[in-house]
Structure 1
Amino acid sequence: MPSQSHGHVFLVVALCLVALFLLLRIQHNEDSHSAFPFSKQYSRTSRGLSNAIGNDTLGFQKIFVINAPWRTDRKDSISIAASYSGLSLDWVDGVAAENILEKAYPPGNHRTISDGNKGSWRAHMNALRAIIQQNLTTGLILEDDADWDFRLRSQLEDFSVGARMLPNLITQAELHSRSKKPPQLMDDQRLSQFELAKRSSLAISSPSSRNIPKAEPYGRDWNILWLGHCGAELSPLSPNAPNRIAIMNDKTVPEPQYLKPMPLASLDKISSVYPPHTRIIHRTNSTLCSIAYAVTQTGARRLLYEFGIREFNKGYDFALSDYCNGLTRGATQETMPLCITVQPPIFSHHFPERMKSDITGHTAGFVPAVETRYVRWSVRMNLERLVKGEDGVEEQWPDTKMET
């Protein structure tokens, strides 16, 4: 029979083991919370992020961020934002135009392009080259002033459904347009723009329960996913065979009066032809600003050849828009890439205090304002609350309350 002293020893050892277990459990929970706090606190998904979009690269193989080494302010800001969103970033250095040798430029009128645009072009080429050299199946490229909603992953879950559905939808619409003539409508029977937009769109609800692949959640039947921009035209109407995806009742979309890229700019077309809180996924059409876009390995190779070797004669985002629209030299319907975009964009420019671009000046409609257009629960606009540990999210574009 063990002595009383041995019993005390066993009791002390048992208590120590319990205390150690509790300490390790608390530490594990704290580490998990610090790695993915927003996905635990703010995501509206009910599917537990069990698909690839829940990983630290949003379902792409890598996320690359273009940052000029002299813009440490931007690198600091996006690094903090990414840490609160559970994102892992790979860096691509921005380039100063004076460091590009004259003989390194492709054919084209590069001398007429501003130094800022030259440096931006080369940095994007370097990002594409990294995707090719690392043999990545997909890569997401961000500019360092990009911002996003706390509910980014659930937004991308909805977008991924459209990205997988749209290529076939576009093919069917194109076949239909070649085989049948559109109906001739009398003047008094002419459809409204709202009705034409409705008939051109396949509507899906958000949020809803869907099966999202654990690998390649966006599919790969595309060349470019243009996820962040500062303006885009809707794809041409196709009322007899839908060529757009409409995500209805998306609470992350601001009300129509807020849907514009700059405070004094005109409202985007979607604000008048679709119901409030609708997000549209469609083939790109005159899209501007390369804030965020994803490429496949094939897409990266084609872009690097097109603008790194073949021709460079305008700002990269304008060139990318022409490329997606089939307007580059020698482009045909058969060689036209499939570029998919979304309105409102999922990523948008963040305008902080003392905002100054290294590429171009401000466009028409800009007034000094600390904001991120299109993003309701902005991560960057809430950075101070996050680092102070404050609860809740401060919304930028709240719904208008109806007077009673």
Structure 2
Amino acid sequence: MTVREMGTIPCRRRDLFLLSVCTLTIFIWLQLHHLNNHAVSGAATHWTQKSQTPIQSPTEAWQQDPNIEDERNKAANATLGFGRIIAVSTRTSHRRTSLSISADLTGLEISIPDQPAWTDADLANFKAKNKSMIKKGSALAWMGHLNALRWFMTQPYETAVIIEDDINWDIHLRTKQAPLLARGFHDLLEREMRTNGYIRPVKDKDHNRTTPWTPIPKPSTLELKSKAISSGPYQRTAFWPDSKYWEILHLGHCGDFYPADKLSHILHNTYPDPNMPSPTGLHIDTQRFLNPLGIPPRHRLIHQSLRPLCTFAYAVTKESARKILEQFSTEEENHGTAAYDVRILEACRDLGFKCWSANPELFHHLDDQASEIANVNGPKPAGIVARKEEFGVPDEPPPSAEDTARARARGTPNVACGIRTLVERLGASRNVREMVRLAGEMDGMCPITVDELDLMRGQIVEKGRSNLPVG
């Protein structure tokens, strides 16, 4: 079964000339389109953009000589340099079609493990017997993440990205943004290893926002060996840093915010991303977070996680997935937990998980669609504001009506050219498909409206790339 039906081009064998023309037409048509297969393998659904060359493995996606500038900036593979992209989605989710089309247009392969129809008994076994505080919708979402991680553990891959099915991402994600983040992560670790010979962890003593995050002193040789903290020359052997340096990489979240004076206490790197929104195009909370840090416009941070909220998209390793399944397979007894993302935050903050955050995030949920959690739980009275206060984010006034209206007009927060916004507004015609492919290779291009689509077409034609479809 394919996501998109292919048309056929009639040819008459009796006319050699017409046959030649037809053959040439088919060849050009195939060059301009990538076929997207929707196949079932094991217990998961896969959406794959096929190309003329086989999809590279994560190690093959990083070039043999990473010192060559253009090679280091080469696009990621169909799984963004990880082993798999795994979506948490129910069989009846109305978001699957949009997710499939968007993955196809941006060259991503997404696997969707079958999710059980959870029963009341499943919920009862999951919830804490004493002092439970989780609602049904949040519990179902948590169990969905665990199901995705269990499926990942059956696969022959070392890493995976877990995504929720209501997220959006930029059309430049695979071609531009993922390579920049991977390089920025490598640069950060290489600099730290060159300077100190080990990766310095960070600790927040009592999780009180008035208490500074204090770097842990350099461990002894014995501690280095016992904790397997890497030492020696840093090597870039794969697209992403080796899994010994990280356990959870937060790629999509609703904020890992902290006071500006804490930035110097954590490992971080700042790098340019020309396909980020302008400062005024960022979510108001993100603007308030970045402005005091002095981060230049259209620059992103990769840093040690402090208090990352939401699990829109996060990368895991086999080891971290195993730890999550062992430690967080049920709600915490005698304490309770409001949601899965809170437990992951606690893993990063309290339990020594090696967590890193891309800030601003590369994935964000579609604000105009109610989440599965909200559909079951109902609206959250205090929204994210209460969550921010609970986890130590400085108090700020809520966004104004003007800020809110401007954010809705932009589409998804912190995503400059969201593919799912584009599909919703323009569809997935032949013309749109080719424009997305070309725009993804060029910084700053975003055919998000019909006018911008026509403008971009004119710019590309002026640059001599005029072999574009007309509709």
Counterparts in 2 of 1:87 and 1:133: CA distance versus 1, 3 Å: same
Deviates more, 1:292-301 or 1:302-311: 302-311
Contact 1:166 1:245 in 2 (8 A): yes
Partner of 2:275: 252
Identify which range, 132-141 or 102-111, moves more after superposition.
102-111
What is the rounded CA distance, in whole Å, between the counterparts of 1:290 and 1:346 in structure 2? 12
Residue identity matched to 1:338: K
The change in CA–CA distance for 1:269 and 1:394 in structure 2 (over 3 A counts) is same
Task: Quickly say closer, same or farther: Cα 1:258–1:93, change in 2 above 3 A.
Answer: farther
Deviation at 1:18?
5.7
The one-letter amino acid paired with 1:358 is E
User: Are residues 109 and 385 of structure 1, via their aligned partners in 2, closer, same or farther at CA, if it must alter by over 3 Å?
Assistant: farther
Q: Is contact 2:123-2:139 (8 Å) kept?
A: no
- Provide the C-alpha distance between the structure 2 equivalents of 1:108 and 1:298, rounded to a whole number of angstroms: 28
Where does the alignment leave 5 or more consecutive residues of structure 2 unmatched? 1-13, 37-48, 52-68, 203-213, 219-234, 386-397, 436-444, 453-471
Matched ranges for 1:371-390 at <5 A: 371-383=411-423, 384-388=425-429, 389-390=431-432
Partner of 2:143: 122
Hey, what does 2:456 align to over in structure 1? none
CA offset at residue 92 of structure 1?
Answer: 3.4
Q: Which amino acid aligns with 2:242?
A: G
Going from structure 1 to structure 2, the CA distance change for 1:50 and 1:266 (only over 3 Å counts) comes to closer
Q: C-alpha offsets along residues 211-252 of structure 1, whole Å, 9 cap, x if unaligned?
A: 975x4434322111110001112497364x87101013x222
Q: Is 1:55 aligned to residue 77 of structure 2?
A: yes
Aligned match of 1:271: 291
| 1:47–1:33 CA distance, 2 compared to 1 (3 A) | farther
Pair 1:139–1:222, CA change in 2 (3 A): same
Task: Determine the structure 2 residue equivalent to 1:163.
Answer: 185
Aligned to 1:296: 317
1:232 corresponds in structure 2 to 256
**Length, aligned pairs only:** 330
Of 314-323 and 98-107, more deviation after overlay is shown by 98-107
Structure 2 residue matching 1:387: 3-state secondary structure = coil
* Matched residue, 1:66: 88
After superposition, give the CA deviation of every residue in 1:190-219 in whole Å (9 maximum; x if it has no partner): xxxxxxxxxxxxxxxxxxxxx975x44343
**Structure 1 residues 357, 17: closer, same or farther in 2, change over 3 A?**
closer
Matches within 5 A, 1:364-375: 364=385, 369=408, 371-375=411-415
Q: Deviations over 1:268-320 (max 9, x none)?
A: 41133212212000011111111000101001101111101683731000110
Q: CA separation in 1, counterparts of 2:201 and 2:247?
A: 18
Contact 2:215 2:266 in 1 (8 A): no
**1:381 Cα offset (Å):** 1.2
**Equivalent pair of 1:259/1:271 in contact (CA under 8 Å):** no
Secondary structure of the residue that 1:247 maps to in structure 2?
strand
- What amino acid is the match of 1:25? F
- Rounded Cα–Cα distance in structure 2 between residues aligned with 1:116 and 1:134: 28
Which one of the candidate residues 339, 342, 346 is aligned to 1:318? 342
- Taking structure 1 as reference, are residues 150 and 229 closer, same or farther at Cα in structure 2, changes over 3 Å only? same
Contact kept? 2:182, 2:239, Cα under 8 Å: no
Please name the residue that 1:341 is paired with. 357
Asked whether the 8 Å contact 1:120–1:359 carries over to 2, the reply is yes
**Structure 1 residues 225 and 381: CA distance shift in structure 2, 3 A:** same
Contact 1:225 1:293 in 2 (8 A): yes
Question: How many Å separate the matches in 1 of 2:139 and 2:117?
Answer: 8
Name the larger-Rg structure: 1
Residues 227 and 292, structure 1, Cα contact 8 Å, conserved in 2: yes
| Structure-2 separation of matches of 1:122 and 1:100 | 13
Residue 30 of structure 1, aligned match among 29, 32, 35:
32
Structure 1 window deviating more from structure 2 (171-180 vs 287-296): it is 171-180
Higher mean alpha-carbon deviation, 86-95 vs 101-110, is at 101-110
Please report how far the alpha carbon of residue 70 of structure 1 lies from its aligned counterpart in structure 2 after TM superposition.
2.9
Q: Secondary structure of 1:325's match? A: helix
Decide whether the 8 Å contact of 1:96 with 1:119 is kept in 2.
Answer: no
Cα distance change on mapping 1:16 and 1:49 into 2, 3 Å: farther
Cα 1:268–1:27, aligned 2, differ >3 Å: closer, same or farther? same
Structure 1 gaps, min length 5 = 1-11, 38-45, 181-210, 399-404
CA shift in 2, pair 1:177/1:56, >3 Å: closer
Quote the residue 1:199 is aligned against: none
Q: Secondary structure at the match of 2:373?
A: coil
Whether the 8 Å contact between 1:224 and 1:339 is mirrored in structure 2 is yes
Shift of 1:60: 1.2
What is the rounded CA distance, in whole Å, between the counterparts of 2:154 and 2:114 in structure 1? 16
| TM-score of the superposed pair, with normalisation by structure 1 | 0.70
Distance 1:166 1:89 in 2: 29
Q: 1:166 to 1:266 in 2, by over 3 A?
A: closer
Q: 1:266 to 1:377 in 2, by over 3 A?
A: closer
Is the 8 Å Cα contact of residues 97 and 116 (structure 1) preserved in structure 2? Answer: no
Identity level (%): 25
CA positional deviation for 1:343:
0.7
Counterpart in 1 of 2:223?
none
**Contact 1:234/1:284, CA 8 A, preserved across alignment:** no
Of 222-231 and 98-107, deviating more is 98-107
Determine the C-alpha separation between the residues in 1 that align with 2:162 and 2:358. Answer: 16
**Do the aligned partners of residues 98 and 32 (structure 1) sit closer, same or farther apart at CA in structure 2, a change above 3 Å counting?**
closer
Instruction: Give secondary structure in 2 for the equivalent of 1:269.
Output: helix
The RMSD of aligned alpha carbons is 3.7
3-state DSSP of counterpart to 2:328 = helix
Query: SS where residue 121 of structure 1 aligns?
Result: helix
